Chain A
Amino acid sequence: MHSIYQAIEQLSLGPWGRDILFALAVLVVAAAVFMVALTIAGVLVWVERRVAGRVQSRIGPNRVGPIGILQWLADGLKLFMKEDLIPECADRPLYRLAPYLLMVGVFGAFAAVPFGQALIAADLNVGILYILAVTSLSAVGILMSGWASNNKWSLLGGIRSAAQIVSYEVPAALGVLSVVLLAGTLQMNGTEMAPGIIRSQGGWPWQWYIFHNPFALMAFFVYFTAAVAEGNRTPFDLPEAESELVAGFNTEYSGMRFAGFFLAEFANVYLMSAVATTLFFGGWQVPGLTPAEMQSSPWLQLLGLAVFVAKAGVGCFVVVWIRWTFPRLRVDQLMGLCYRYLIPIGFACLLGNAAYLLLVPAGSLADNVVHWATAAFGLLVLALFFWRVGYHLRRSGERLDLDLLARGRRGPFEPRWQHRAWGAHRRQAAKEA
């Protein structure tokens, strides 16, 4: 995107023409990013429901579109047609404003998400700080919606959410700070001369920041836990706890406003995965290729995009998977986890990283050995995990079913209602008569 802005700068259109063109280009880019974010959020809704289905021995939506992938469009259409209710005693302006604030908080952050080497709407020099700052806006939106609904469940949800987001901002920032310390910059992509966070990593796992040293590995888990909590996702979904608060802060919302909350939540899942990918997993870096090589070919750029989306997709899957595995925390457990565990560990990680940078010279043999050892440890944990999965599969005694999409085959028989348009009999009778 940067090249578009530069091209406009160079056009000789006079001051006004250039400014108008620049504004137009910014609007187009913003609209494109918004659309991409909306689509990702929509598809994630479907992914969540399919994964939830499989975890619960169900199938999930598989009828709208090829494998049910258009389910979110059908849901969106349904919500769009619904009545937009505003409670009688609600604070009307605030009630209307709240979902937009939440959406701005989440979708605004997408401006600094590096989808690829060139595919970043604005490669700010304070990129990660901008994301942390803008996403905090969603706390205001949630608290506002809770207050303005004039409903006890909403208010409780809003208060819980505010407490939670304010608390978990600290460990999230500490986790991010560890990476900022390693990279020495806040910028996402950067340039050849001044590499940002992604460029200073590499394509191979041992070049990622997550395996930079043991403290970075711990920092990732601190960041990820805090990000899940900030996004109000299970097991930290106290603000919208269905079993206690109906739907928490969005209890009173309906129609498109509700859809706004919903999409913002799922866009936020992608956002946290994308940020984790950027900070810890090497972003769009393709193994075996340097950024300079990738710059030359648009196909390699697309490959970088695919790599980024795949990494972020795995992150999204983990977030969804966590939701359907863990039970919800109690309020005191939630705060205990943050203040007794995550914050001290986060500080320890920060100090550990700083000490590591001081003691181990970058690029030395010791440095590389630590990278390799940490990556090997990660691999070991992963292998242990899959061994446990195999153990549970064997213990269940069930046959392995690799039809992950559970398409199901159409039967050889013709069931009632199928393959026959409504009223076909009437039309045939009319033709015969």
Chain B
Amino acid sequence: MGAVSRYFSAIGRTITTLGDGLAVTFSYLFRKPITIQYPDRLPRPLSQTLPERSRGILEVDLDICTGCSMCAKQCPIDCIDITVEKQEETKQRFITRFDIDIGKCMFCGLCAEACPSGAIRHSHEFEGSVTDARRLVLHFADRARPTAKPPKKGAEVKTAPRGAIVRPLLGQPDEPYRPPVKVALPAPPAKPASEQPAPAAGEGAAKESSDKKDDGGSK
């Protein structure tokens, strides 16, 4: 190949290769961008599109919680705080406090692994920012909840959809802090099945003493 033909073939190659490069980038103008326009321009909330096993903020379904406190024992940083009280009259155990400090939680998932009924689990929620750090402690027991029986092996446990419990607890970022409601045991009923909260000052004091006893017992 002579110098002259090399010169002109260089020009030819320049034009064709650059032109094809331009065609490639031009074709990208008609392809869908992969950007996700979080948070407001999405067809569904991002939490619903996360992978099944992603570990979001912890939540507890107290309807199926056995009150065994295995999660609190497993937690390496003690961010779970559970109180189980026994009603002396009916011998029924109630969960009166189930607090998770998501400010401390490191999302390791050990608690969910330890749970015998699958009551504590990671939701897909991750938007937990608040303007008051005290609000990072989530209080799941809004009233005394009777403990559930541990499920039989292989039995399917009915539970609320993932995230449905924790989402209302997170609230809006700028909501003011409200101290948690004092949870009292229900009054000993004639029929043991009812669960009506009947807070009374005298009873509350009695419970606190039983609280300590119960704590000792559960350990």
The chain A residues found within 8 Å of chain B, CB to CB, are 51, 53-59, 321-322, 324-326, 341, 385, 388-393, 396, 398-402, 404, 406-411, 413, 415-418, 420, 422-426, 429
Contacts and interface: CB of A to CB of B under 8 A. Distances in A.
B176 A426 contact: yes
A320 to B, nearest CB: 11
Q: Which 8 pairs between the two chains have the least Cβ-Cβ distance?
A: A408-B41, A388-B23, A401-B32, A392-B27, A415-B39, A325-B25, A408-B37, A59-B35
Given A408-B37, A416-B170, 20 more contacts: A54-B29, A57-B33, A57-B35, A58-B34, A321-B22, A321-B26, A388-B20, A393-B30, A393-B31, A398-B32, A411-B42, A411-B45, A416-B173, A417-B173, A423-B174, A425-B175, A425-B176, A426-B174, A426-B176, A429-B176
B107 to A, nearest CB: 19
A32 B21 CA distance: 39
Q: How large is the interface on B (under 10, 10 to 19, 20 to 34, 35 or more residues)?
A: 20 to 34
Contact of B21 (A326, A390, A400, A415): A326
Contact of B22 (A322, A341, A418, A423): A322
A400 B30 contact: yes
B172 to A, nearest CB: 6
Interface in B132-180: 170, 172-176
A401 B34 CA distance: 12
A58 B37 CA distance: 10
Interface of B: 11, 18-35, 37, 39-45, 127, 170, 172-176
Judged by DSSP, the binding face of A is: loop
Contact of B19 (A51, A385, A406, A426): A385
Contacts of B33: 53-54, 57-59, 401, 406
A413 B25 CA distance: 35
Contact of B174 (A54, A398, A411, A425): A425
Nearest to B24: A392
Contacts of A53: 33, 35
B28 A55 contact: yes
Contact of A57 (B19, B23, B31): B31
Given A55-B28, A389-B26, A416-B127, A411 B40 contact: yes
A251 to B, nearest CB: 28
Contacts of A401: 30-33
Contacts of B40: 410-411, 415, 418
B34 A420 contact: no
A407 to B, nearest CB: 8
Contacts of B176: 425-426, 429
Nearest to B14: A341
Nearest to B171: A425
Given A398-B31, A416-B127, A424-B174, A409 B41 contact: yes
Nearest to A413: B45
B12 to A, nearest CB: 12
B11 A411 contact: no
B94 to A, nearest CB: 31
A399 B19 CA distance: 23
Nearest to A54: B29
Contacts of A415: 39-40, 42, 45, 127
Contacts of B32: 398-399, 401
A402 B30 CA distance: 6
B27 A416 contact: no
A149 B21 CA distance: 37
Contacts of A322: 22
A399 B176 CA distance: 47
Contacts of A398: 31-32
B23 A389 contact: yes
A409 B43 contact: yes
B44 to A, nearest CB: 7
B125 to A, nearest CB: 10
Nearest to B41: A408
A422 B174 contact: yes
21 contacts: A54-B29, A55-B25, A59-B33, A59-B35, A321-B26, A324-B25, A325-B22, A385-B23, A388-B23, A391-B23, A392-B23, A392-B24, A398-B32, A401-B31, A408-B42, A409-B41, A417-B39, A417-B172, A418-B40, A422-B174, A429-B176
A341 B11 contact: yes
A348 B36 CA distance: 52
Contacts of A409: 41, 43
A401 B22 CA distance: 18
Contact of A388 (B11, B19, B35): B19
Contacts of A411: 40-45
Nearest to B15: A221
Contacts of B39: 415-418
A272 to B, nearest CB: 18
Nearest to A235: B18
Contacts of A407: 41
Nearest to A56: B28
Contacts of B175: 425
Contacts of A51: 29
Given A410-B40, A415-B39, A420 B172 contact: yes
Nearest to A415: B39
A325 B27 contact: no
A63 to B, nearest CB: 9
Interface-centre pick from A406, A408, A420, A423 (highest chain B CB count, 10 A): A408
A325 B11 contact: no
A206 B37 CA distance: 45
Contacts of A406: 33, 35
A196 B205 CA distance: 100
Contact of B28 (A57, A326, A385, A390): A57
